[in-house]
């Protein structure tokens, strides 16, 4: 979901992939265990809503399918269209969350996006917070990335890319975006996987205007898998992603006037009281473990793209180690050239997959 596409071909990533496979195979069982423990202490206390209470259909006629009780929604991609939905309101800060099950098997070229944006209201100075799930060839796991933009900072992508520690096609898992005036946190289940703390040096790059929540499935054949080499194969269509247990915890704003209702000042403290914007010591340990093992690209360590790291970057030696061990210059190289392109649909994206 940015307006740039990095399209350079990449060099062979075989040695890297091998190392990654070894890492994952050797460390997964114990990780699942420790993640569960570390994150189980401060369980989220969430109020879930049905689809109709918070969202409306955005695009893809016939490709959005609601369960009879309106609690679950399926988004389909077929050869004619993807599909998507959007929150009926804009929110000034909040906690945006859903249980998601991704399509299984032949998912190369697919992108399932769960993100906040105000690009429709502020086309030149939009803000955005992204989860983007990237399909893969049969037998290889889904990966995902997080990213954000503030006030139209589309020239400065802030992508991080990761593996998951579970198969996201087998069960529903909760994915959440927390946004206050002070910080941004991306969660997978109850594990915080990325925090961005606002600093004055970031200026307008920290999202500051009300945003809607978008959820889409679409054909990202030109970038999502192996830098665009593996395309969506419609022989296996339709591709179906499922969503339920929605949470929209924030300050709703009138979409036309964009005047926050009076309780907006309370939003940040409410999110803090619920423990959603404050990471506990156990949460920090889980985040560190996740990042040491599952992150495989970070703009903060990409010194070719950003010789001086962007102001919010906190360089952690144990994270950086991964990039060093696996020849991180390879990633840097794949992000050198940015080509402008037009936005093709809500949730349009992105940069090249730097590996796998
Ligand atoms: C994790 O939690 C289980 C059950 O609550 C407990 O038996 C186990 O000792 C814990 N493991 C660690 C590493 O804390
Ligand atoms: C969960 O949240 C609800 C409403 O926000 C509150 O009434 C309840 O006390 C909370 N439960 C716990 C265990 O904190
Ligand atoms: C956002 O960008 C606009 C246009 O470039 C500028 O006028 C405004 O001051 C910026 N706002 C912030 C908060 O940086």
CATH tag for 4-340 (out of 3.40.50.300, 1.10.287.3510, 3.40.50.720, 2.60.120.200): 2.60.120.200
Global confidence as pTM = 0.82
Residue 320: predicted pLDDT: 83
Kindly report, residue by residue over 113-163, the tens digit of the pLDDT.
999 999 999 999 999 999 999 999 999 999 999 999 999 999 999 999 999
* Distance of CA 68 from the midpoint of ligand 2 (Å): 29
Kindly report, residue by residue over 43-62, the tens digit of the pLDDT.
899 999 999 999 999 999 99
Q: From CA 65, how far away is CA 316, in angstroms rounded? A: 43
Residue 11: predicted pLDDT: 32
Residue 9: predicted pLDDT: 31
Residue 159: predicted pLDDT: 95
* Distance of CA 33 from the midpoint of ligand 1 (Å): 8
348 to each of 4, 214, 314, how far by Cα in Å? 9, 11, 28
| Catalytic residue numbers, as ranges | 128, 132
Give the mean model confidence (pLDDT) for residues 207-228: 94
The three-state secondary structure class of 58 is strand
Band (2; pLDDT cuts 50, 70, 90): very low
Band (346; pLDDT cuts 50, 70, 90): very low
Q: From CA 229, how far away is CA 210, in angstroms rounded? A: 37
Domain boundaries, the chain: 4-340
User: What number does the ligand 3 atom closest to the CA of 151 have?
Assistant: 1
Kindly report, residue by residue over 86-116, the tens digit of the pLDDT.
999 999 999 999 999 999 999 999 999 999 9
User: What number does the ligand 1 atom closest to the CA of 34 have?
Assistant: 13
98 to each of 114, 272, 294, how far by Cα in Å? 9, 19, 22
User: What number does the ligand 1 atom closest to the CA of 33 have?
Assistant: 1
* Distance of CA 37 from the midpoint of ligand 1 (Å): 6
């Amino acid at each position: 979901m940015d307006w740039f596409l990095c399209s350079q071909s990449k060099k062979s990533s075989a040695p890297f992939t091998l190392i990654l496979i070894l890492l994952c195979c050797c460390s997964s069982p114990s990780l699942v265990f420790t993640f569960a423990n570390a994150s189980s202490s401060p369980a989220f206390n969430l109020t879930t809503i049905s689809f109709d209470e918070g969202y409306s259909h955005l695009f893809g006629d016939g490709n959005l399918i609601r369960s009879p009780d309106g609690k679950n929604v399926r988004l389909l991609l077929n050869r004619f269209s993807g599909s998507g939905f959007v929150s009926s309101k804009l929110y000034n800060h909040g906690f945006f969350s859903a249980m998601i099950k991704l399509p299984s098997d032949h998912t190369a070229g697919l992108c399932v996006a769960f993100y906040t944006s105000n690009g429709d209201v502020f086309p030149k100075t939009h803000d955005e917070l992204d989860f983007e799930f990237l399909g893969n060839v049969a037998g290889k796991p889904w990966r995902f990335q997080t990213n954000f933009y503030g006030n139209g900072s589309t020239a400065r992508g802030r992508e991080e890319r990761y593996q998951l520690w579970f198969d996201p096609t087998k069960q529903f898992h909760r994915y959440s975006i927390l946004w206050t005036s002070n910080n941004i946190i991306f969660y997978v289940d109850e594990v915080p996987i990325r925090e961005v703390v606002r600093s004055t040096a970031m200026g307008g790059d920290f999202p500051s205007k009300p945003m809607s929540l978008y959820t889409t499935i679409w054909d990202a054949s030109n970038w999502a898998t192996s830098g665009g080499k593996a395309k969506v194969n419609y022989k296996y269509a339709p591709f179906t992603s499922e969503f339920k247990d929605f949470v929209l915890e924030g300050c709703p704003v009138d979409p036309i006037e964009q005047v926050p209702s009076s309780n907006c000042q309370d939003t940040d403290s409410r999110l803090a009281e619920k423990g959603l914007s404050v990471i506990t010591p156990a949460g920090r340990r889980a985040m560190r473990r996740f990042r040491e093992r599952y992150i495989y690209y970070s703009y903060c360590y990409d010194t070719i793209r950003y010789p001086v790291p962007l102001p919010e970057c906190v360089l952690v030696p144990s994270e950086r180690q991964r990039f060093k061990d696996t020849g991180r210059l390879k990633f840097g190289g794949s992000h050198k050239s940015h080509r402008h392109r037009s936005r093709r649909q809500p949730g349009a994206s992105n940069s090249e997959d730097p590996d796998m």
